[in-house]
């Protein structure tokens, strides 16, 4: 039981929170490319991405896993992103700081989504089998993660160059 929920129910809630954060984050990312602030959706992205990391820490702990390390780094990055956005109002250097920290946090969520997809979706698991306790591996998995990484690097650089907010409240 986690927060009064069975482990499968809590896992479902965690996955739904993660997916909301990812979808909102992708829309926000493309908005940055068009220099659109989208304050409401940005708040949803940041909140649900924070909740993704926090709820990840609530799963039964047996050993320190890479997912805990990613969640911890993501929370630090999200704190910086929130400071840059809400505290410093994206002034000066805080604009690129926000873009980079928010997009790395989004990338981490997508990175974990890809891993979980290869672990849980039978067709993907067949392409890149995992030998517990190791994550999926092999060339197909590496190519997919490489494509995801290049996608995020290119779009983050694009957002850095193109996002010039007029105001953000």
Question: CA of 167: how far to CAs of 23, 35, 70, 91, in Å?
Answer: 24, 11, 32, 10
Phi, psi of 63 (to 5 degrees): -155, 160
Binned at pLDDT 50, 70 and 90, residue 128 comes out as: confident
What the block records as the tokens of 66 is: 């890479």
Q: pLDDT tens, 7-21?
A: 999 999 999 999 999
pTM value is 0.92
Contact status, residue 75 vs residue 47, Cβ threshold 8 Å: no
What the block records as the tokens of 52 is: 């993704």
Q: pLDDT tens, 50-96?
A: 999 999 999 988 888 888 999 999 999 999 999 999 999 999 999 99
């Amino acid at each position: 039981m986690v927060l009064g929920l069975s482990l499968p129910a809590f896992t479902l809630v965690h996955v739904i929170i993660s997916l909301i954060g990812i979808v909102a984050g992708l829309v926000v990312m493309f908005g940055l490319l068009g220099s659109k602030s989208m304050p409401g959706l940005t708040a949803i992205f940041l909140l649900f991405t924070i909740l993704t990391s926090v709820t990840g820490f609530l799963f039964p702990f047996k050993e320190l896993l890479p997912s805990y390390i990613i969640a911890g780094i993501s929370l630090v990055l999200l704190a910086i992103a929130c400071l840059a956005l809400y505290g410093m109002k994206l002034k000066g250097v805080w604009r690129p700081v926000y873009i980079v920290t928010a997009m790395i946090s989004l990338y981490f969520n997508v990175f974990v989504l890809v891993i979980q997809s290869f672990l849980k979706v039978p067709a993907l698991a067949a392409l890149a089998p995992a030998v517990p306790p190791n994550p999926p591996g092999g060339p197909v998995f590496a190519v997919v993660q490489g494509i995801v990484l290049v996608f995020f690097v290119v779009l983050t650089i694009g957002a850095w160059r193109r996002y010039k907010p007029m105001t953000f409240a």
